Structure 1
Amino acid sequence: MRQTRKESVMTKPTSLEIIEKIVREWFRREMSMDLQTIDYDMPFLDLAIDSLGAISITAEIEDAFGKRINPELLYELDSIRDLAAHLDSLPKFLASGSVASDDLASDNSASDDLASVSASELDSSTDPSEGDRIAEDPISYFTRLNRKVNTAKEQGVYPFEPEISAHDGVWVQCEGKRMLMLASYEYLGLLGHDELDRAAEAAILDFGTGHHGSRLLTGTTSNHCDLEFRLAHWMRADDAIVFSSGYVANLATISALVGPGDYIVGDNLNHASIVDGCRMSGAEFKEFKHNDMDELVSLLLESGGRRTLVVVDAIFSMEGDIVDLPSVIEICKKNKALLMVDEAHSMGVLGKTGAGIQEHFGLAADDIDIKMGTLSKSLAGSGGFVAANSQIITYLRHHARGYIFSGALPSVYANVAIAALEVLRREPSRVEQIWKNVEYYHAGLKRLGFDTGASETPIVPIMTRTNDVTMAFTQLCRSEGLLVVPVCYPAVPMDSPRLRTCITSTHQQSDLDFALDVLARAGRQCGIIH
């Protein structure tokens, strides 16, 4: 790390000095590194601050400045200088308090004035008074936060939202180039299937393209009722309820089932929609280390007899591994906790017939209290659902705000999902084929020397070490006709960017060979493999 200046001693420290001190203290406390100074312009990522570090540092900055910030800003705003300029533009939000904690005060390398400055003193030294404040132009505010995105677009290397103009099985026309799709979670190859297309056409003829309102009022059709009956049967549950998207299903269900005074525990690699639902509920929310059953037990012991919900993914969407569900079930039963499992990526994938994680582990029908899934992945449509005991479903119909106050899922998508379930019931060989492809692809990546983390499913991350390497790797693959997507913080921890590749049942061996050849060349060029 560069040390470019001597620390100045000021009666009233600047925002730059306050932030630098907080960052140095984090390194002293968490990394046992005693840094005298940190370059104000050094990117936070180059400082190797991980996601938990970003959360800890931003919490301390919030306390110091009395202002609300998001941990993602340590990625978006790059450096201490950029973050300080952003903070100086914000009004106070939090209650006043001491800038420096006891830990900060114990850092003898900093001035006593810096360690003891109060929030009110900081305001007068770094911010205009409230009466003198000139509101920042809103567009300038968002332009600053969009700097990385805008720069990537100007340089022609922006990797997100690739525009697909045609679809031919696993091959697509994307931005003027024919590419092999290696990033789709349409696992069973049903997108464009004749039966699904005909089901969509029939629903449009019967019900049109939209709906008459929310499901609770006038938006429910016979297609919705038929689909919910079939989903309940498929998931071995009493009843099911369909939402307009998987994200809404998680948000609405979790926030309806628990609230202030209740307690939620989730895996720390759960999907963002789960996390958002937990936060929105108002319940106390704790996370255990990924698949760490000992920590799950420890956190449940802290519930204090409160109504408790445990939420986990079946297949983790960025890691590609499977939850240790038999252990989770045993722990939940001992602690009388309600269990919800997100099967977005396991439906159509796990189990001999694609029925999901219950079939995969041979579980009893009532081992999982609440089973959530999507209609947009293996079922090649749109929407989300929850299957559970009929009393839970009845409660959700009358209390889940994302169901009551959202327009109904168009009937066309309900009919598409019905057709997809029928194809899957009739053709379980699609599930068998996807696992053959997964085995072949995993073996190829291992032979080439790629790090695929803990993946054991069709979701296969390729770890890339840094964001710059991730973006370069993505561009090289796309230039050779392989459509892959980069995944960086905040979708994954700050220190573990990757490509997330996905295998489907309709990939041919020749397709996978092509993908492996492109990945090998690009990986060697980027220094990921030798």
Structure 2
Amino acid sequence: MDPAREHPLAWMDRNAERRRADGLRRALRPRPADEPLLDLAGNDYLGLSRDKRVIDGAADALRTWGAGSTGSRLVTGSTQLHARLEDALAAFTGAEAALVFSSGYTANLGAVTALSGPGSLIVSDAANHASLVDACRLSRARVAVTPHNDLAAVEDALARRTEERAVVVTDSVNSAEGDLAPLRALHAVCRARGAALVVDEAHGLGVCGPGGRGHVAAEGLAGADDVVLTMTLSKSLGSQGGAVLGPRRVIDHLVDTARTMIFDTGLAPACAGAALAALQILREDPGLPGAVLAAAAALAEAAGVPAPPSAVVSVVLGEPEVAFAAAGRCAELGLRVGCFRPPSVPEGTSRLRLTARADLTEPDLDRARAVLATVLAQARP
């Protein structure tokens, strides 16, 4: 057909058909408030999104400040509540300062692009989250992608650089595998080669490190003057939003240059209030991270995989159709699990992703064990 005569969006139908044939079609499935399924798919690691204290924190902020922040952070979108949250996050993680964004995604975009740019090098782990990948693409820096947790490859990329500035970017906890980055050794490489280290603690905060302060704190790097943290408020803190934490001069630089902060409406006050309340709960109950890891170990045992050092239990099944069918069967039996397929994971490694929570009871775990035993017996060869 003459391309000029074809509908300008017809290519979408062909792409959709290809994705369907490859088992990669996706669909939104709105869940009801009273869903009966046991949730092992969400990222509410500490079980705080429905905690009355967190809901009260959101409601109080809503009544005090209104439904929205009304503008960008540099206009009217910064309230005293945002400042309190930033101070609390910095104190909890050992950072000098913090800056709150509207999401973890925008926090990563803002941090990486503002710390790099033309004439700089970014060294990015191949398994990094899509938000970090997109940040690298938008940075206009030269990007070297290194194999997952490969220290030698990072050192080689830094040793070969001709750029004046360099930034190494990694997740502290990989969102699909659940494994930990070798941060102490990675930091040593960065320091020896004059590079800054940016670490996304999205899946580390509330689960890893002393009192849930994150993997960076566990590795003795809290407050380091060449380390920048990013994080989300939507996982362990049960709210919404993101933050960048690090040296004061980094935060000041972001206020001047981070486009996803300058040109985005500030985080809704209710989300800030909820996150602040959740952070206080975590401070007062340092046993919560241990409960998450214990639940993760129980789920891993039920799935026949090694216990992870995080809340993420990865059950690799291979082809996308197999993983998708297994996730559907779990739902039929009362268990909601994550289904990760390419491009979220490499070809041939489609999987179920189970996420542990601190509030899972023994009956919950027994229910999960029974469902997983049935489903995995059918899904595995």
TM range (shorter): over 0.9
Query: Quick one: distance in 2 between partners of 1:465 and 1:226?
Result: 46
Q: What displacement does 1:364 show?
A: 4.9
Q: Of 258, 267, 274, which residue of structure 1 is paired with 2:116?
A: 258
Q: SS of the residue aligned with 1:463?
A: strand
- Structure 2 counterpart of 1:245, one-letter code: S
Deviations 1:364-412 (A, max 9, x none): 5216521111110000000000011111111101111100111111111
Contact 2:223 2:247 in 1 (8 A): no
Give the letter for the 1:384 counterpart. Answer: G
Give the equivalent residue in structure 2 for 1:475.
Answer: 328
Match of 2:343 in 1: 490
**Which residue of structure 1 aligns with residue 15 of structure 2?**
145
Give, in whole Å, the separation in 1 of the partners of 2:370 and 2:220: 38
Amino acid in the other structure paired with 2:12: F
Residue 187 of structure 2 is aligned with which of 323, 329, 335?
Answer: 329
Q: Give structure 1 stretches of 5+ with no counterpart.
A: 1-88, 90-127, 168-172
Structure 2 residue matching 1:372: 3-state secondary structure: strand
Q: Is the 8 A contact 2:296 2:308 kept in 1?
A: no
Q: Residues 376-391 of structure 1: matches in 2 within 5 Å?
A: 376-391=234-249
Contact 2:46–2:358 (Cα < 8 Å) also in 1:
yes
Counterpart in the other structure of 1:521: 374
Shift of 1:362: 3.2
Q: Deviations over 1:413-466 (max 9, x none)?
A: 1111111111111111211211221222222322xxxx56x9432101111111
1:281 shift after superposition:
0.4
For residues 296 and 158 of structure 1, what CA distance do their matches in structure 2 show? 35
Q: 1:229 to 1:135 in 2, by over 3 A?
A: farther
Matching residue within 161, 165, 176 for 2:28: 161
Corresponding residue of 1:501: 354
More moved, 312-321 vs 143-152: 143-152
How does 1:70-149 map onto structure 2 within 5 Å?
A: 133-147=3-17
Which residue is 2:152 aligned to?
Answer: 294
Structure 1 residue 204 corresponds to structure 2 residue 71? no
Q: Structure 1 residues 185, 275: CA separation in 2 closer, same or farther (over 3 Å shift)?
A: same
- Look up the match of 1:231: 89
Q: By how many angstroms is 1:467 displaced?
A: 1.4
Shift in Å, 1:151: 8.4
Q: How far 1:135 moved relative to its partner?
A: 4.7
Distance 1:363 1:309 in 2: 16
Counterpart for residue 399 of structure 1? 257
Match of 1:241 in 2: 99
Task: Kindly indicate whether the alpha-carbon contact (under 8 Å) linking 2:209 and 2:218 is maintained by their aligned counterparts in 1.
Answer: yes
| Alpha-carbon distance in structure 2 between the residues aligned to 1:368 and 1:231 | 18
CA distance in 1, matches of 2:174, 2:209: 16
Answering whether residue 291 of structure 2 is matched by residue 424 of structure 1, we say no
2:266 aligned counterpart, secondary structure? coil
**Cα pair 1:347 1:354 within 8 Å, conserved:** yes
How much does 1:210 deviate? 0.7
- Spell out, residue by residue over 1:278-327, the C-alpha distance to the aligned partner (whole angstroms, 9 max, x if none): 11000000111111111111111111252000011000001100001110
Largest Rg, 1 or 2: 1
Distance 1:466 1:150, change over 3 A: closer
Closer/same/farther in 2, CA of residues 158 and 304 from structure 1, 3 Å limit: closer
Distance 1:442 1:473 in 2: 16
Contact 1:214 1:220 in 2 (8 A): yes
CA distance in 2, matches of 1:441, 1:474: 15
The equivalent residue for 2:228 is 370
Determine whether 1:465 maps to 2:315.
Answer: no
Matched residue SS, 1:499? strand
Partner of 1:285: 143
- The answer to whether structure 1 residue 272 and structure 2 residue 130 are counterparts is yes
SS at match of 2:210: coil
Alpha-carbon shift at residue 361 of structure 1 (Å) = 2.3
Structure 1 ranges of 4+ moved more than 3 A: 148-153, 157-160
Alignment-mate amino acid for residue 509 of structure 1 = E
2:197 counterpart SS class: strand
1:477 Cα deviation after fit: 1.0
The code of the aligned residue for 1:383 comes to G
SS at match of 1:225: helix
Cα distance change of structure 1 residues 384 and 260 upon mapping to structure 2, 3 Å threshold: same
Alignment RMSD:
2.1
Tell me how far apart the structure 2 counterparts of residues 475 and 431 of structure 1 sit (CA, whole Å): 29
C-alpha distance after superposition, 1:159-185 (max 9, x if no partner): 643321125xxxxx1xxxx21111111
CA gap 1:389/1:363 in 2 versus in 1, 3 angstroms:
closer
Task: Output the TM-score relative to the length of structure 1.
Answer: 0.69
Flag the 1:479–1:148 CA change in 2: closer, same or farther, 3 A. farther
Q: Is the 8 A contact 1:213 1:219 kept in 2?
A: yes
Q: Give the TM-score normalised by structure 2.
A: 0.95
For the 8 Å contact 2:16–2:25, the answer to whether it is kept is: no
Q: Report the Cα distance in structure 1 between the residues aligned to 2:26 and 2:136, rounded to whole angstroms.
A: 30
Is the alpha carbon distance of 1:367 and 1:213 closer, same or farther for their aligned partners in structure 2, counting shifts above 3 Å? Answer: closer
Which residue of structure 1 aligns with residue 296 of structure 2?
438
SS of match in other structure, 1:218: coil
AA paired with 2:28?
Answer: E
What is the match of residue 218 of structure 1?
Answer: 76
- C-alpha distance in 2 between matches for 1:341 and 1:215: 23
CA distance in 2, matches of 1:441, 1:354: 20
Distance 2:232 2:320 in 1: 30
Q: CA deviation at 1:470?
A: 1.1
State the structure with bigger RCO (CA 8 A, min sep 6), 1 or 2. Answer: 2
